[in-house]
Amino acid sequence: MEKSKNKKNVRVNYGLAQKQVLANAGVKITFLRSKILAFAMDSKKPFSFEDVFLALRDTGIHRATIFRNLSLFKDAQILREVDMRQDAMFYEIATKGHHHHVVCKICGCVESFDMCGLDNLVEEFIKNSKEFDKISEHSFEMFGVCKKCYKKK
C-alpha cells in the first residue's frame, strides 16, 4: 500500500488534530486511523462504512480495517453510532454533545437538533416501570421529507 512518496514524511502526514485525539483516547496512531478520523472530523453529517471506503479508496485500505477502526473508535468514545434506519450503521464524532436527527426519506439529508425535553421523559418512564430501573441509552430519530425534495414533486 502506498502511503507517501517520501518515507520521512509519513509521520507529519498524520495530521495534528487527529494525532491529538487518538493519543488522548489511548489509541495507537497509524496512518489509516488518522485518515479515517480526519474524514470523520470533516464530515458535516453522520457517515457510514461506505462513505469512509469511498473517501479513502486511493489508499487501498481494506474493508475489514475500516470496520475494525470504526468499532475501535466507538469503544474509545471518539465516535458514536447513529441509527439512520438504513441497512448500514452510521457514525459521528462523539464530542458533538447529545442530540438527535431528522432524516429526509428521499435524499437522506440530515438536520440535527437538541431535544431538551427527552431526559425528563426518560426519568418519568423509569418511575413507572416494573421491569427496568436504569436506562443507559436512548435513541430518538424523526423521518420526513425535506422542503427541497417536497418541492421537486
Partner DNA sequence: TGCCCAATGCGACCGAGTCGCATTTGGGAT
Partner DNA sequence: ATCCCAAATGCGACTCGGTCGCATTGGGCA
How far apart are the C-alpha atoms of 16 and 14, rounded to whole Å?
7
Angle between helical axes of 31-42 and 16-24 (0-180°, round to 10):
100
* 38 lines the binding site for DNA (CB under 7 A): no
* 39 lines the binding site for DNA (CB under 7 A): no
Query: Are the beta carbons of 41 and 99 closer than 8 angstroms?
Result: no
Piece of the chain touching DNA by CB under 7 A; list 45-53, 108-116, 120-128, 144-152: 45-53
Residue given cell 489509516 in the structure block: 32
Q: Which does 68 bind (CB under 5 to 8 A by kind): its own copies, DNA, none?
A: DNA
When the beta carbons of 64 and 116 are compared against DNA, the nearer one is 64
- Residue stretches of the annotated binding site: 98, 104, 107, 138, 146, 149
Residue 85 beta carbon to its own copies: minimum distance, rounded to whole angstroms: 7
Q: What is the Rg, in whole angstroms, of the alpha carbon atoms belonging to the chain?
A: 19
Task: Enumerate the β-bridge partners of residue 90.
Answer: 48, 82
Residue 121, CB half-sphere, CA atoms under 13 Å: how many?
8
When the beta carbons of 57 and 130 are compared against DNA, the nearer one is 57
- Residue stretches of the annotated binding site for Zn(2+): 104, 107, 146, 149
Query: Are the beta carbons of 106 and 147 closer than 8 angstroms?
Result: no
- Interface pick for DNA out of 57, 64, 117, 120 (rule CB under 7 A): 64
- Residue stretches of the annotated binding site for Fe cation: 98, 138
**What cell numbers appear for 33 in the block?**
486511523
* 76 lines the binding site for DNA (CB under 7 A): no
Residue 132 beta carbon to DNA: minimum distance, rounded to whole angstroms: 25
